[in-house]
């Protein structure tokens, strides 16, 4: 296996770094040091212009990036769905959120014109784009195209 077949997770209990094979993430892994269960995705990760490259482009798992704003009603409507997806697809995909008001550089780079817009990345490249407050089933259908 090469480096892309692993996910590095920090244990919330003892701060140890754990290298988990991607194909074993669904097995609910435990920390190698303290044996505590590893919570691979407690919820969507906050992404900024400064953290975008590391959090999205360099991610070892596919990423669904939600481009949103706090004043946007449809964005607030879809937030609980994304939190559920983060828990249900833990380790297989990273759910991330980018506030377009606070991070105009990344929003402009990807031509975000309406929100919510969800960008799907695999291998550091945008492979799909979903616009609007879509139902969970439609988002999951798009995730299946990533092989998840």
Check residue 96 and give its pLDDT: 93
User: Which is it for the CA torsion 134, 135, 139, 142, positive or negative?
Assistant: negative
Considering the candidates 11, 31, 67, 72, report the single residue annotated as catalytic.
Answer: 72
39 band by pLDDT with thresholds 50, 70 and 90: low
Could you tell me whether strands 63-68 and 45-47 are parallel, antiparallel, or unpaired per DSSP bridges?
A: unpaired
Place of tokens 């991607």: 22
pLDDT band with cut points at 50, 70 and 90 for residue 28: confident
**Cα separation values, 97 from 2, 24, 63, 81, Å:** 28, 26, 10, 13
Q: One of 11, 31, 67, 75 is an active-site residue; which one? A: 75
Q: Please, how many CA atoms are within 13 Å of residue 53, restricted to the half-sphere of its CB?
A: 2
Structure confidence by residue, pLDDT tens digits, 65-78: 999 999 999 999 99
Active-site residue, 67 included: no
Domains of the chain by start residue, with CATH: 1-38 (2.30.30), 45-144 (3.40.30.10)
pLDDT at 40: 59
- pTM for the complete prediction? 0.73
- Residue-level pLDDT at 1: 45
Does the pLDDT value for residue 35 go beyond 90?
no
pLDDT category at 4 given cuts 50, 70, 90 is low
Please state which of the ranges 60-74, 84-98, 127-141 shows the lowest mean pLDDT.
84-98
**Residues 106 and 52 sit within 8 Å (Cβ to Cβ):** yes
């Amino acid at each position: 296996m090469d480096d892309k077949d692993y996910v590095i997770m920090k244990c919330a209990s003892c701060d140890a770094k754990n290298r988990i094979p991607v194909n074993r993430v669904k097995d609910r892994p435990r920390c190698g040091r303290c044996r505590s269960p590893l919570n691979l995705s407690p919820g969507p990760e906050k992404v900024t212009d400064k953290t975008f490259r590391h959090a999205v482009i360099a991610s070892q798992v596919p990423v669904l990036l939600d481009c949103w704003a706090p004043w946007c009603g449809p964005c607030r409507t879809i937030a609980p769905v994304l939190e559920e997806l983060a828990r249900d697809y833990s380790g297989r995909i990273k759910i991330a959120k980018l506030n377009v008001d606070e991070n105009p550089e990344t929003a402009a780079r990807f031509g975000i014109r309406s929100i919510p817009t969800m960008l799907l990345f695999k291998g550091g490249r945008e492979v799909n784009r979903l616009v609007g407050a879509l139902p969970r089933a439609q988002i999951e259908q798009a995730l299946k195209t990533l092989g998840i």
